């Protein structure tokens, strides 16, 4: 499988949440996944659910603009 590497900088709060999620996933994955694994899972989920996320963001934006 061909892969490209990206470098992502995250604030400390997001890193803490990422690490907590890694530990949470231990129960379902049987191991603590790497940070890269969790970021890949999050991106896949975000991109697959992109249409719903865009709808949610648009509704949130409308609500905050009103």
pLDDT digits (tens, 9 = 90+) for 34-45: 999 999 999 888
pLDDT band at 53 (very low <50, low <70, confident <90, very high): low
| Residue 50 included in any domain | yes
- Say what the alpha-carbon torsion angle 34, 36, 40, 46 is, to the nearest 10 degrees: 100
| Residue 38 included in any domain | yes
pTM tops 0.85: no
Instruction: Give how many domains the chain has, as a whole number.
Output: 1
pLDDT band at 56 (very low <50, low <70, confident <90, very high): confident
| Residue 4 included in any domain | no
| Residue 2 included in any domain | no
**Residue 46 is part of which domain span?**
12-65
- DSSP string spanning 7-34? -----HHHHHHHHHHHHHHHHHHSSPPP
Tokens for 5, please give them: 């590497």
């Amino acid at each position: 499988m061909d892969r490209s590497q990206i470098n992502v900088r995250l604030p400390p709060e997001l890193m803490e949440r990422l690490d907590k999620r890694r530990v949470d996933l231990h129960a379902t994955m049987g191991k603590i996944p790497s940070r890269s694994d969790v970021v890949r899972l999050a991106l896949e989920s975000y991109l697959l659910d992109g249409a719903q996320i865009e709808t949610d963001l648009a509704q949130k934006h409308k609500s905050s603009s009103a």
